[in-house]
Amino acid sequence: MNIGLNPRRIFLLTGAGISAESGLSTFRDKDGLWEKYRIEDVASIEGYERDPVRVLEFYNLRRGKLADVEPNAAHYALARLQQEWQARGGDVTLVTQNIDDLHERAGATRVIHMHGELAKQRCHECGDVALAEGDLLLELGCGACGRLGTLRPHVVWFGEMPLEMDRIGESLLAADLFVSIGTSGAVYPAAGFVDEARRNGVATLELNLEPSENAALFSDARYGKASVVTPAWVEELLNGAA
Ligand code: NAD
């Protein structure tokens, strides 16, 4: 299918695969952080209630790792697309499932982090969200309400509602082109975006290392490393060929 009809509004969804080449493990990586922790222990409210110290430690480790990694060519390509498309009167909505800050560090703006942000903390009592200035510890107090032991990472855990879903839904329906990059299509609601886009007549493109679980739903696909296929697609699009 030709998706080169000059899509004015582009909706981008990124997942862990776009950050893999920067050195941040995906869920599937064999010897990444996820191998050493069970997801249900560190990414659920039940896990946090059972053992908050372990959960805080897991996210402290992940936050610490951010300082050692850099955006890769795929992050830079999407930031460039956002800027150049905007300058041409188009619009690019960038939604990520990632909690890292590599899109922003590559120069992207208005990034919607539907699963939250590792760099931020939230008070589970008063809801205040602030930048985490160091490791999160149970001994710390909330800067807004002053309660002790109420700080948790500002990330969405299994069973919790992803953030900004109304804004995401509106942008998805208004899009001319939906592009999914480096995501397995296994985690809902993001995994359902392609079907929603398709049912609304939005062209769909998958960029991934290998076909994702819902690859059959996309009208077009390119497979390979994000750092290779993403800049190539952006280049073609900006040159009017994609
Ligand atoms: P996932 O681990 O389920 O799938 C990753 C996908 O990326 C796979 O389809 C894989 O084939 C692909 N991939 C791996 N290396 C790639 C590369 N170099 N280039 C292109 N594609 C590559 O990740 P997901 O779909 O994002 O899963 C959703 C959940 O994972 C989200 O909740 C997200 O918050 C969480 N997560 C985030 C991070 C992060 O913030 N960097 C890291 C791990 C997991």
Give pLDDT tens digits along the chain (242 positions). Answer: 444 456 799 999 999 999 999 999 887 766 666 777 888 899 999 999 999 999 999 999 999 999 999 999 999 999 999 999 999 999 999 999 999 999 999 999 999 999 999 999 999 999 999 999 999 999 999 999 999 999 999 999 998 999 999 999 999 999 999 999 999 988 899 999 999 999 999 999 999 999 999 999 999 999 999 999 999 999 999 998 66
Q: What is the pLDDT of residue 4?
A: 47
List, by residue number, the catalytic residues. 115
Q: Is the CB of 73 under 6 A from ligand 1?
A: no
Q: Is the CB of 24 under 6 A from ligand 1?
A: yes
pTM for the structure as a whole: 0.94
Q: What is the pLDDT of residue 1?
A: 42
Strand pairing category for 111-113 and 116-123: unpaired
Pocket test for ligand 1, best of 21, 24, 26, 75 (most atoms within 8 A of CB): 26
Q: Is the CB of 231 under 6 A from ligand 1?
A: no
Q: What is the pLDDT of residue 7?
A: 77
Residue nearest atom 16 in ligand 1 by C-alpha distance: 17
Q: How far does residue 140's CA lie from ligand 1's centre (Å)?
A: 31
